[in-house]
C-alpha cells in the first residue's frame, strides 16, 4: 500500500494533488466488474450453469486473488489517464 512520493528515475510525482486516487476506486470497480462478467460467462458456458454458490465463490476468490494487481493497475490508469503522466522511452531501463 505504500508508494514513494516520486519516480526515482524521472522524478514524476505519483500524487498530483491530495485525494487524487479516490477516482481509482471507480476504475478498480470497473476491473472487478469485468472479472465478474468474464467468470460468469465462462462458468455459464463451460460449466453448464452451475448453482449460484459456485458463481459467488469463484468470483469472490478470483477478485480477492487479484486485488493487489487491481490496486496498482487502477492507480496507474488513473495517473496516466488523468494525472498527465506519460511514457518516455529515454527513461526506460532494460
pLDDT of amino acid 31: 95
pLDDT of amino acid 93: 67
Over residues 28-46, the mean pLDDT reads 96
43: part of which helix (H) or strand (E)? helix 24-46
Distance CA 66, CA 61 (A): 9
Domains of the chain by residue range: 23-84
Partners of 13 in beta bridges: 6
> Does residue 84 contact residue 6 with C-beta atoms inside 8 Å?
no
Distance CA 62, CA 59 (A): 5
Give yes or no for residue 94 having a pLDDT over 60: no
For residue 1, what pLDDT band results from cuts at 50, 70 and 90? low
Amino acid at each position: 500500500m505504500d508508494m514513494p512520493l516520486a519516480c526515482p528515475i524521472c522524478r514524476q510525482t505519483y500524487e498530483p494533488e491530495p485525494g487524487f486516487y479516490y477516482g481509482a476506486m471507480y476504475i478498480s470497480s470497473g476491473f472487478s466488474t469485468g472479472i465478474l462478467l468474464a467468470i460468469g460467462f465462462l462458468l455459464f458456458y463451460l460449466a453448464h450453469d452451475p448453482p449460484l454458490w459456485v458463481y459467488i465463490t469463484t468470483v469472490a476468490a478470483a477478485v480477492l486473488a487479484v486485488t493487489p494487481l487491481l490496486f496498482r493497475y487502477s492507480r496507474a490508469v488513473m495517473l496516466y489517464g488523468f494525472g498527465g503522466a506519460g511514457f518516455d522511452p529515454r527513461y526506460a531501463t532494460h
